[in-house]
Each structure stands twice: as C-alpha cells, then as structure tokens.
Amino acid sequence: EGVEEKKLSGKVKLVTNPYTNTPYSERYFEILEKRKTLPVWQQKDRFVDILSKNQIMIVVGDTGSGKTTQIPQFVVEAGYATNRKQVACTQPRRVAATSVSRRVADEMDVMIGAEVGYSIRFEDCCGRKTILKYLTDGMLLKEAKTDPLLERYNVIILDEAHERTLSTDVLFGLLKRILNCRPDLKLVVMSATLESKKFQGYFNGAPVLRVPGRLHPVDIFYSEFPEKNYFEAAIRTVVQIHACEPPGDILLFLTGEEEIEDACMKIRNGIRNFGDHIGPVKVLPLYSSLPPTVQHRIFESAPPPQKEGGPPGRKIVISTNIAETSLTIDGIVYVVDPGFSKQKLYNPRIRQESLLVCPISKASAEQRAGRAGRTQPGKCFRLYTVESFQDQLPSQTLPEILRSNLANVVLTLKKVGIDDLVHFDFMDPPAPETLMRALEQLNYLGAMDDDGNLTEMGMLMSEFPLDPQMSKMLVVSPKFNCSHEILSITAMLSVPNCFLRPREARKAADEAKARFAHVDGDHLTLLNIYHAYKENEEDPSWCCENFLNIRALQSAANVRSQLLGIMNRHNLKISSTQFTHPNYYPNIRKAIVTGYFMQVAHLEQSGHYLTVKDNLMVHLHPSTCLDHKPQWVLYGELVLDSTERSSIRMVTDVKGDWLIDLASQYYDMLNFPQCEARRALMRVYEKRGRGI
C-alpha cells in the first residue's frame, strides 16, 4: 500500500497543469477518477467530432450524466477558448452557475475567477484569464445588449434548455440570428429531457448527441388517498423513511424558503422524538436565497452512526426545484415528491404577474423520481394518487415565456435592435395580447413612443438590470432630488427579504421590525433599515439583535454601489433632499409613483381594496408595516395564495393628486372604467378646476 501511494504522488509531481504551470494536486487526480465514470466521458470524442463539423448541436442526457460540468471542459480542451474569445455556459439558476463553476474550477485545478469564472446579476467573478464562464441566461441576455453579436465568445452552451426559462427562450431566437451573422460562432444546446424533435426542428435540424443514462430502477409509490395537507404528509413520510428504510439519503421537494425552513425544524424535532434507536440525521435546506456556504453543505456526506455499530446516519435535503435538474446530489436513494412547485403566472387581462404554488408536470415528476436512482436502486414517494398523476398533471410545464409579463423582454430586444417582435423567431410565440400589454406598459412608462421605438428614457432604462418599473423610478429620481434614497430602496428591493422571523422568536422579530416601520409604508421602511444599517457601521451583532439578515443587507450595499455606477456612467445626478425638509419623504414617494403607477389599489367604501382599472379585490399583505388603510396604495407585487385570496405586498401610501400629476397618460379619464376610483379621481380633477 505504501509503495502504491508513493508511486501515485511520484506521478503527481510529473504532470503539470497547463493553466497554472504547476503540478496537479492530488485532489485533481481524485476528481479525475470520478469524472471518468460519468456517462458523458465515454462520448467525449464523438462530441468533439460533431462540434467540429456543425455550427449548432444538441446534447441530451439524464441529469447527473455530466453535461454541465464536463461538456464545457471538452470544448475548452478542444481548443475553442482563447484569452480573447471565451466559452460561455448558461444556467437558468444563480445557484447552479456559482456552484457548478466552483466545481469545475476544482476539476481543472485552478482558482475560481481565474480560468473558470461565473457571472450572475450583481456579481461577477471573472478575470483577465477567464476562458470558461458559467453565467445565468439572464446575464448572457444582458451582455447581448452591449455586444449584440456576442463577439467575446467562440462557443456558447445553453444548458438546461428543457427548463425553457424566459431568458433561455429569448436567447434561442437571438442566437439563431447571431449565428447567421457569425459563421465562426458555435452553439451547443443541452437538455435533460427528450423533447429533442422539437429542439431539432427549431434549430434547423441540428444533430443530437444522446448520452445514455446510468439510472438504477426507482420504485414509485403513490398515496392511496389524496392528501389533505401535503406539507404534513411530507414531514410524516420523511420521518417514516428514516425510521424504517435501509440506509440512503433523502431528498424532499417543497415550494419555497419559508416552507423549507419550517420543514427542516419539524423533521429534526420529529426524529429527535424517536430517541437514539434510530440514526443521526443531517437536515439541510436548499433554496436560492441561501448563502453559498450553506448551499454547499448539500454535498457533505451523511453523518456517521452515533456509536460504532449503531443505526446509520442519514442526510436529508429539503429543496425547491433547484435539485430537480440543476444540481445533482450524489447518494440520494429516497425522493419524497408532494407534487407542487412555485410557478410564475401572468394574466395579461389584469396585467398581473404572480407566483403561485401549482401542481408540477408529469415531466417534472419523472425528473424528481429519477434523482433517487443515481447511485443505487431507489424509491420515490409521490404524495398524490396514481389517478391524479395520470389525469390531473399536465404533461409538460408551460414555457415561462407563456406565463410572464414581457415588458423587460421587449425592452431588451428593442435595445438589441430587434424591431419586428411579432415575427421574432420564438420557439413558442407568446400570446399577441401579452406582447401588446408589454408594449403598452413600456409606452405608459415613456420607454417607447407611439410608433414602438425606444425613447431616450427607454434607452436609459434598459441600462439597468432591473424591472422596468424600478429602472424608471431610478432614472427619474434626480428630478425629485432623491436619487440617493431611490438607489437604496431599489437595492433593498433587489435582494432577498432582509427580515428574519425565526419561529421561536416571532414576537421579538415583529417588534424589531416595528421599530423601523415608516407610517407611509414599506418602501420607506426599507429605506429606514438601510440607513440604520449604515449608521450602525454594518455591525453583524446589531443586525442579529434586530432580526435582520446581514447577508441581504450586505448584498443590498453591493447592489447599490453597482447601480450607482450605472447612474454615474449615464450622468444621472446623485442628490438628496435635505432630511429636515418637509418634502424629503413626499419626493421619494413621488419618484416611486413614476415607476409603479400601474400598480395602485383604491380603498372602496366597502373597506376593500380594488386594483385600479382592473378592479381585482386585494388585501394588504400581513407583512406590511402600514397601520392604517390609506385611500390609495401603490404596491410592489400581487401575491395569490392557495386560498385564491389575493394580497398586495410592499405597499406605500400615495395621493390621488400625484397619480394625476405624475402619470396623467395612465390616469386619463377618457380611458378609465367606471368605478369608485374613477369617481375619486374625478373629484380631484374638479377640485383643481381642470376638468377632464
């Protein structure tokens, strides 16, 4: 054994890493052995051969077969990357982009940010040496705005194409055009599922490389009766698996952060109640707003038995859809699938985009089950009946482009120079009504003129990596002498929720939050928090005492400085109204109105809020810090919950006068349905004697 080891380390010293000119580390060889067992490894030569002979190719292979980590390395090794022309690999999720790029840096035995980097919104970890870049699809789209032919790349890999995210779908159409202008550019489309006919048809008959999977059989168990409460059923099932099933890690799919944290706690408690005749567990959450170091823990191994010969330990990962195809966790043997995920929905009739917990598709259910059979035969527990699987689940999830507000997409495409949106080559063209709504919204925001051309305002707005409402309020903020404040608010709105509300200390957390509350609403409360954070010198213990998520605040500070950079580059004045001036807060609220005037609700005599123009009944979300019900409120988002009750979140008290003054194009009485809001606005007009 000793001799073997010496031989190995002797070999290590002989091989140099061409990127760093230093000998490869031992770890490199360890990982290399693992890489060689991945199914794509066998296909390396075929892949390189097809790539060399075609401009576009498609790679289809099961999740975990090594597409994301290996294929980009094959491309680099085949010589397609140079210092001046890189290889890009897109990921729909930020978590995947950061986690996978770190892994690949390890595999290539280089530092992250050197030869291998990543780029996600507000965070760029690339350098002069970077030849392989993992980036979110949204970031690549953003790059296209300044580099319309994406000339900094030789090869672009669109990964996770089956997810059909909004940005990936737009990139499909855009890249088809770019490839026509750039014969030297190559495109690789990678997907985990076999909708390859559709992809092939769309990409001019591009060749498909199929990577045979390596899955073990997975037994599927359905609930006998529909579950009343999928959450409780999920907890029960996980605890039962741990108590009764042979060794193997568990993966449970839930819909979001709050649910996941709650489940982690309940599962830990449930298992603790069994005492020590069952094994120890490591219960790990996984969702996008989790800090990277915590996210990374999913790759740790299960805990050892408490005492020698005792019952084995288990890792239990509780994840959103991230673990469905984006990240592969080895060692999962049991999957618990309640059959739901949070999905974006858009209703162009009422112009509302919302997040809603929805049943998943059959394709998703198959992917989830597949996660159990990566390393050995597994089991998947579906917490729904076989009948509902067959009859109620749609076969595929609708592509996001058919479920989204397209204002931002339209703005981006216009900026890239695509004028004819109706004939843009979408894989699944969005409904004409949705496109119309987007054009209308941009027109109301002043970003596009009546002929559909981008205005100067639109040009400026498209410089910011933000939704149009937000970029609008930033661009106009100098006029209201409050760009400092709007920058802080925008930054706070762009990061994960900063309020911590641990179950065991809810009251204390709510009291802490109330200390920051601003009478005029949630936007100004965010501003208070940002200011307090800065005044307290970003002190972690201060954050902790006040139940504030320091990471969220740190990223807000970072986002703020990047947005400030964009403002400066475009000569947008950075200023503040004097704090003691009576207009300090009204100015800020007015600037917000110029962006969000299409998201306003009016308090009816009945005591309910109705959204302006669309007359949807909504409630103030319980998270609001408003302690009264103003006549007009502006809101950041509309949330539909499972009881179909709609509530509005991120709410600020605004004035009817401001709506008329700042958004007369929208609050035009000639174009306004009969309702209480209209009558109220009429009174404002009459009071001013301006008529209509």
Q: Which residues make up the interface to Mg ion (CB under 5 A)?
A: 67-68
Provide the angle, in degrees to the nearest 10, between the axes of the packed helices 584-596 and 483-493.
50
What residues does 282 pair with on adjacent strands?
A: 315
What does 103 bind: Mg ion, ligand ADP, none (CB cut-off 5 to 8 Å by kind)?
Answer: ligand ADP
Please tell me whether residue 5 adopts helix, strand or coil conformation: helix
What does 299 bind: ligand ADP, Mg ion, none (CB cut-off 5 to 8 Å by kind)?
Answer: ligand ADP
Least separation in angstroms between CB 427 and ligand ADP: 21
Distance CA 442, CA 507 (A): 42
DSSP string, 591-657: HHHHHHTTSEEEE-TTS-EEETTT--EEEE-TT----S--SEEEEEEEEE-TT--EEEEEEEEE-HH
- CA proximity to 283, closest of 291, 270, 275: 270
The yes or no reply on residue 65 touching ligand ADP (CB under 6 A) is: yes
Least separation in angstroms between CB 359 and Mg ion: 24
The yes or no reply on residue 330 touching ligand ADP (CB under 6 A) is: yes
Please tell me whether residue 269 adopts helix, strand or coil conformation: helix
Least separation in angstroms between CB 118 and ligand ADP: 13
Please tell me whether residue 282 adopts helix, strand or coil conformation: strand
- CB-nearer residue toward ligand ADP: 110 or 620: 110
Distance CA 292, CA 299 (A): 12
- CB-nearer residue toward ligand ADP: 70 or 167: 70
The yes or no reply on residue 466 touching ligand ADP (CB under 6 A) is: no
Q: Which range touches ligand ADP (CB under 6 A), out of 60-68, 582-590, 636-644, 645-653? A: 60-68
Least separation in angstroms between CB 157 and Mg ion: 10
Distance CA 535, CA 541 (A): 13
The yes or no reply on residue 61 touching ligand ADP (CB under 6 A) is: yes
What residues does 191 pair with on adjacent strands?
A: 60
- CB-nearer residue toward Mg ion: 59 or 110: 59
The yes or no reply on residue 68 touching ligand ADP (CB under 6 A) is: yes
What does 330 bind: Mg ion, ligand ADP, none (CB cut-off 5 to 8 Å by kind)?
Answer: ligand ADP
Least separation in angstroms between CB 362 and ligand ADP: 20
The yes or no reply on residue 67 touching ligand ADP (CB under 6 A) is: yes
**Which residues of 3-131 form beta strands (DSSP E)?**
16-17, 22-23, 56-61, 86-91, 116-120, 123-125
Token digits of residue 458? 């639109």
Tell which positions 253-312 bind ligand ADP, by CB under 6 A: 299
The yes or no reply on residue 319 touching ligand ADP (CB under 6 A) is: no
Is residue 272 packed enough to be buried (19+ CB in 10 Å), middle (13-18) or exposed (0-12)? exposed
What does 328 bind: Mg ion, ligand ADP, none (CB cut-off 5 to 8 Å by kind)?
Answer: ligand ADP
The yes or no reply on residue 373 touching ligand ADP (CB under 6 A) is: no
The yes or no reply on residue 64 touching ligand ADP (CB under 6 A) is: yes
- CA proximity to 298, closest of 258, 264, 339: 264
- CA proximity to 40, closest of 161, 197, 189, 214: 214
The yes or no reply on residue 315 touching ligand ADP (CB under 6 A) is: no
Q: Which of 56, 80, 88, 103 binds ligand ADP (CB under 6 A)?
A: 103
Q: Which of 99, 343, 404, 471 binds ligand ADP (CB under 6 A)?
A: 99
- CB-nearer residue toward Mg ion: 67 or 164: 67
Is residue 176 packed enough to be buried (19+ CB in 10 Å), middle (13-18) or exposed (0-12)? middle
- CB-nearer residue toward ligand ADP: 374 or 590: 374
Q: Which residues bind ligand ADP (CB under 6 A)?
A: 38, 61, 63-70, 99-100, 103, 299, 328, 330
